[in-house]
Amino acid sequence: MLLAGKLSETMAALRQEVRAPVRVLYDELVKHLTEAATAEGALKTSDVFPEFALADDDGKFVVSSDLLKSGPLVINFYRGRWCPFCAATVEAMSAATPAISADGASVIGISPEAGPVSLSRGRSRPLNFRMLSDLDNGLALQCGLLFRLTDGVIRQYRASNLDLAKIYGNGSWFLPIPATYIVLPDGRIGDAYVNPDFRYRMAPEEILRSLAMLKPR
């Protein structure tokens, strides 16, 4: 089981590692998204989560209605393997998945990446949950999570040889806001965490607490 607070500590350390010029750009991006109320249109608690059929890394389609037959579904949206904050969250969720599964819920990850650049590829140990590919961010758009990077961040990524157009197969420079949804078997969202600041995520221990509160009394 993941030690409580471990992800929060890791994310805090990652935030400190970001170089000053890039940190300023990230702060400006978050300010832009906040002032534009970008996350206000995202799905919230009590909304119905869209049904989906997305492919995993083996090309097999995973259908949400099938997953929900066995209990609640924990869904995490990630930006990509290139993002250290996403990579850290993936590791924490993989470590916590056995405890979440023991609580009767399933875990999946969703990212616009696919193939060899997927978050589940190139690992010494396989993930404890399935990573699904949301090509062109279709599901993220339905969830109200999609946004375009600012020109300053795009220039910085290009200067760092991070070509998201090549990674995602399109030149839109759109990304999903990282989010966590706990979807109940009837398709309703029991809990939601949507934060325009991608440097913060819902920790596994918070997910476990939410699942415990959502259990029928």
Q: Which of helix, strand or coil describes residue 191? A: strand
Q: Where are the domains of the chain?
A: 6-212
* DSSP, residue by residue, 101-149: HHTT-EEEEEES--GGGSTTSS-SS--SSEEEE-GGGHHHHHTT-EEEP
Predicted confidence (pLDDT) at residue 131 exceeds the cutoff of 50: yes
- Tokens 């995602």 found at: 168
Tens-place pLDDT, residues 133-183: 998 999 999 999 999 999 999 999 999 999 898 888 888 999 999 999 999
185 has pLDDT over 90: yes
146, 137 contact by CB (below 8 A): yes
In CATH terms, the superfamily for domain 6-212 is: Glutaredoxin (3.40.30.10)
Instruction: With cut-offs at 50, 70 and 90, classify the pLDDT of residue 4.
Output: very low
Helix, coil or strand: residue 150: coil
**Tell me: the pLDDT tens digits for 89-116?**
999 999 999 999 999 999 999 999 876 5
The pLDDT of residue 123 is: 60
